[in-house]
């Protein structure tokens, strides 16, 4: 499971640089070692993303904490950062740092797909498997409501989860 998560991290980190290239004006060689969610401000999405990876992998002198990683990924995901949405979706699939939840996994992976065509191609089969699992546990009306919610979702600091 960790090898799969590391592969996802590698893909996501490569894509985040592309996604944020217009927004980031900081030195990319700077690697944070210990920032709290409050210290890693919304003005520094790349630093927050790197710190989330540090927590997830326990690197750069940062104690491993999947929970803290999930918190940072969620903050970034709510700001519509597709790579963070992708990571958060994977964490909901595996139950690393968050309670395992197929519905929230599908939500975040769907939003990541909507916002990033490269990610959409990479996670298409994963989304399909999640949707099939959700079909067996949700009514047609609930599935429709979920799809409508994903379609109408807009970034905000106060995300109203499904």
Q: What is the per-residue pLDDT across 2-26, written as a single tens digit (0 to 9) for each?
A: 555 555 555 555 555 444 443 333 3
Does pTM top 0.95 for this prediction? Answer: no
- CA-to-CA distance for 53 and 13, rounded, in angstroms? 9
Is residue 26 a contact partner of residue 47, using CB atoms and an 8 Å limit? yes
pLDDT at 132: 95
pLDDT at 21: 42
Is residue 107 a contact partner of residue 162, using CB atoms and an 8 Å limit? yes
pLDDT at 53: 96
Q: 111: closest CA among 70, 147, 140?
A: 147
pLDDT at 43: 58
- CA-to-CA distance for 120 and 102, rounded, in angstroms? 18
Instruction: Assign 44 a pLDDT band (cuts: 50, 70, 90).
Output: confident
Nearest 10 degrees: Cα torsion 140, 141, 147, 153: -160
Q: Which domains does the chain have, with CATH numbers?
A: 7-15+40-152 (1.25.40)
For residues 69 and 23, the model is more confident at: 69
- CA-to-CA distance for 55 and 34, rounded, in angstroms? 9
Q: 91: closest CA among 115, 57, 60?
A: 57
């Amino acid at each position: 499971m960790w090898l799969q998560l590391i592969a996802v991290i590698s893909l996501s980190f490569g894509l985040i640089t592309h996604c944020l290239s217009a927004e980031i004006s900081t030195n990319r060689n700077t690697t944070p070692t210990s920032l709290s969610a409050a210290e890693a401000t919304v003005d520094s999405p790349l630093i927050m993303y790197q710190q989330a990876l540090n927590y997830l992998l326990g690197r750069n002198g940062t104690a491993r904490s999947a929970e803290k990683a999930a918190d940072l990924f969620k903050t970034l995901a709510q700001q519509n950062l597709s790579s963070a949405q992708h990571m958060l979706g994977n964490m909901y699939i595996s139950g690393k740092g968050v309670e395992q939840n197929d519905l929230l996994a599908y939500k975040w992976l769907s939003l990541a797909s909507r916002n990033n065509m490269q990610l959409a191609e990479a996670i298409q089969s994963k989304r399909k498997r999640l949707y099939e699992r959700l079909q067996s546990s949700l009514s047609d009306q609930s599935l429709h409501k979920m799809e409508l919610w994903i379609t109408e979702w807009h970034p905000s600091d106060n995300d109203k989860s499904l």
